Amino acid sequence: MTTSRPPPFDAWLFPPGLPQPQALEHVGSDTVTIRYPKSDHHLAYILVSSLRAARPPLAGLETRDLITLLGAAGERFPHTLDEEAIGEVAANAGLSPPMTREVLGGMADSWTTDALKRLVRAEFPDPRVLDGFVAEDGRKTHAAAPGVTLHLGAGSVPGVTITSLLRALLVRSPVLVKPGAGDEVLTTRFARELHRADPRLAAAVAVHYWPGGSPGRATWEQELLTLADQVVVYGDDDTIESVRARAPASTRLVEHPHRLGVAIVDPDSAPGAAADAARAVAMFDQRGCVSTHLILLLGDHEGAREWCGHLAGHLARIDAKLPPAPPSPAELSARHQLKGRLALRETTTEEVTSWAPEGAGWTLVLGPGRAFEPVGGRTVWVVPVPAAAACPDVLAPLSAKLQTVGLAGVRPDRGRLAEALFGLGATRIVPLDQVPFPPPDWLHDGSRPLRELVCWSELR
């Protein structure tokens, strides 16, 4: 018996009044096919021009009214996703439906009216500065984003692009969004909700997916990078460097490269930390910039081995509750190669022990810090360290990628640990149970997420 393939999903949404694309391309699999417009020189100019014309009506909304509109849409959106829609989002994102629901539940907490109010208040104590010039310290100041913002999203975690486009709209910037591969369905569905919410939002929001970096899109991408006033880009080092090399000097760049998370745990002071650690590892199938890949465990090797047994049990329970999606061929290859390297190390040294049950969606490795390699796919390394003061030395090789540090049973103020972690590049140091879902006003990669989007003007 054969099953019919689902209809293709249209991963574009243009402002009302613009002509709909006639020539389409597609990419996909047996579970989901994504359709998108073909490259068109005139379309790039038409899209950006239309969005730029939508800026004055968007700017005419007072901040409190804009927050209400966006927050109401964010609160409604999760309720518009039935089981079929969740399955479509999951297939597109490469996550299981249970994990997709868990991720959306956590991400959507930052899309509510209260969350957006908190974000704006945290960055602009007097939000009227987004509405016009406000007197302060002998001058008047005004903040707003510079025109149209092009968002180049990453598909690693569904929902990140939604958060990014909401930030731009809050500071009065119309948005052209290119979702990352794997986030097309969720992003486009949310944009449709914004279009239904208010005609001013509909005019200011466009979605257009295309395969990033493909040779046939080089001219198209160059045109958009030139036409946009600001570009927000998420991705790996190659993606960031490519955009940086092609964007003109007049285009502002906001970059969010790949990051990873670690944890520091004192098992004697935090007896429940293994459960929190397992969740921090498993959430997003370890694809998020906040995801924990390495755990520094205070104590000796034998104590760490016993604690790893507890961690393995919690990873197995999460595996049953929030199973990973079937791995891609690339992920299977990476896991196979890792298992081969681990098997060789385990035969030559007692320092390395691994837990990788047949059929499990996770791998746990106990070993020295010098052996650590971030592989992903719910692969976590546990490194025993004698004391918290030794942790910065172990983490020093990761400083270029370090973002989130989760702490359990460890005081960040003792021995100036927080200062040392900050010196290594950590921009978020939080309790381990708070690692997966940052609050809306977190310092994203060390920057204030709204202030990094705006320009300021002063009137004296």
The answer to whether position 118 is within a domain reads yes
* Amino acid at site 192: R
The answer to whether position 184 is within a domain reads yes
**Gap between the Cα atoms of 107 and 440, Å rounded:** 9
Q: CB–CB of 192/13 below 8 Å?
A: yes
Indicate whether 141 and 189 sit together in one domain. Answer: yes
Indicate whether 210 and 323 sit together in one domain. Answer: no
The answer to whether position 440 is within a domain reads no
* Amino acid at site 263: A
The answer to whether position 40 is within a domain reads yes
Indicate whether 199 and 320 sit together in one domain. Answer: no
Indicate whether 183 and 250 sit together in one domain. Answer: yes
Q: Looking up tokens 């509510």, which residue turns up? A: 112
Burial class (CB in 10 A: 0-12, 13-18, 19+), 296: buried
State how many domains the chain has.
2
Indicate whether 273 and 243 sit together in one domain. Answer: no
- Residue 297: name the closest of 362, 361, 365, 250 by CA: 365
The per-residue pLDDT string of the chain (460 residues; one tens digit each, 9 = 90 and over) reads 445 667 899 999 999 999 888 889 998 777 789 999 998 878 899 999 999 999 999 999 999 999 999 999 999 999 999 999 999 999 999 999 999 999 999 999 999 999 999 999 999 999 999 999 999 888 999 999 989 999 999 888 999 999 999 999 999 999 999 999 999 999 999 999 999 999 999 999 999 999 987 888 888 999 999 999 999 999 989 999 999 999 999 999 999 999 999 999 999 999 999 999 999 999 999 999 999 999 999 999 999 999 999 999 999 999 999 999 887 777 777 777 877 787 777 666 668 888 988 888 999 999 998 889 888 889 999 999 999 999 999 999 999 999 999 999 999 888 799 999 999 999 999 999 999 999 999 999 999 999 999 999 999 9
Indicate whether 180 and 267 sit together in one domain. Answer: no
Indicate whether 252 and 374 sit together in one domain. Answer: no
Indicate whether 248 and 294 sit together in one domain. Answer: no
Indicate whether 235 and 271 sit together in one domain. Answer: no
The answer to whether position 425 is within a domain reads yes
Looking at residue 349, what is its pLDDT? Answer: 65
The answer to whether position 191 is within a domain reads yes
**Gap between the Cα atoms of 155 and 160, Å rounded:** 8
Indicate whether 24 and 111 sit together in one domain. Answer: yes
**What's the CATH number where 140 sits?**
3.40.605.10
pTM of the model: 0.93
- Tokens standing for residue 424: 């290594």
The answer to whether position 1 is within a domain reads no
Indicate whether 429 and 449 sit together in one domain. Answer: no
**What's the CATH number where 281 sits?**
3.40.309.10
Q: CB–CB of 259/402 below 8 Å?
A: yes
Indicate whether 185 and 331 sit together in one domain. Answer: no
**Gap between the Cα atoms of 378 and 187, Å rounded:** 25
Domain region containing 401: 260-434
The answer to whether position 3 is within a domain reads no
